[in-house]
A and B are shown apart, each in its own frame.
Chain A
Amino acid sequence: EPEVTQTPSHQVTQMGQEVILRCVPISNHLYFYWYRQILGQKVEFLVSFYNNEISEKSEIFDDQFSVERPDGSNFTLKIRSTKLEDSAMYFCASSAGGIGELFFGEGSRLTVL
């Protein structure tokens, strides 16, 4: 069964460092998303991406965050200068275009020290 894969599964970084989280969405999907979940809290929308550009973003997704799809298969989330409060599980999701039917990866846990 096709699935969304994410790497790394866990990354520990120092505050102020840049982090790139990688995702390989399901191959025929057209919409891509990043969500984050702080431990024990709800799943928060960060950004959606369609047709090689951001289509929606939340207030959380400030100038420190960026996304790109560099090679037609990978979908990356970059955090330019990490802060302690960026520690969370980051989930990538993709959708074929069906309304809201998102398929999630297993997440990348980011720990900022």
Chain B
Amino acid sequence: GQQLNQSPQSMFIQEGEDVSMNCTSSSIFNTWLWYKQDPGEGPVLLIALYKAGELTSNGRLTAQFGITRKDSFLNISASIPSDVGIYFCAGQSQGTSYDKVIFGPGTSLSVIP
């Protein structure tokens, strides 16, 4: 079935550094989404991408929908302690209904003050 892979699995960075994480798939996705999950809470949508090549920003966050429609990246600039959490990519793949959104395994981000 459809599967998403994320890298890195975890990262430890100094406050103020920029962060980059990736999401890839062996199949084409029509929609890419990036969610953040804080401990004990549900995922919160950060950015949604709908078109191949699309580059979208939300404050210090920037995400791109890869041209091949099989990958996406998320960048966080000038990290701060509240950026700590797990970042999930998610997507709806070609050939399925819009009603099935699957999640990647997540990238755990730790920010050292």
Point out residues on B near A: beta carbons under 8 Å. Answer: 30-31, 33, 37, 40-45, 48, 50, 88, 90-92, 96-106
Contact = CB atoms under 8 A, between A and B. Distances in A.
Given A91-B42, A99-B92, A104-B43, A43 B97 contact: no
Given A55-B97, A104-B44, A99 B30 contact: yes
A91 B103 contact: no
Contacts of A55: 97, 99
A106 B40 CA distance: 7
B96 A101 contact: no
Contact of B100 (A48, A98, A106, A107): A48
Interface in A68-113: 91, 93, 98-107
A106 B39 CA distance: 10
Nearest to A101: B48
Contacts, number: 68
User: Range of interface residues on chain A?
Assistant: 20 to 34
A56 interface: yes
Nearest to B29: A100
A20 to B, nearest CB: 19
Contacts of B41: 106-107
Contact of A100 (B40, B88, B101, B105): B101
Contacts of B33: 100-102
Given A42-B103, A42-B105, A101-B33, A56 B91 contact: no
A107 to B, nearest CB: 5
B90 A100 contact: yes
Which interface residue of A35, A102, A103 has the most chain B CB atoms within 10 A?
A102
A106 B44 CA distance: 10
Contacts of A100: 31, 33, 48, 90-92, 98, 101
Contacts of A35: 103
A58 B99 CA distance: 11
Interface pairs A-B: 4 shortest CB-CB? A104-B42, A48-B99, A55-B99, A43-B103
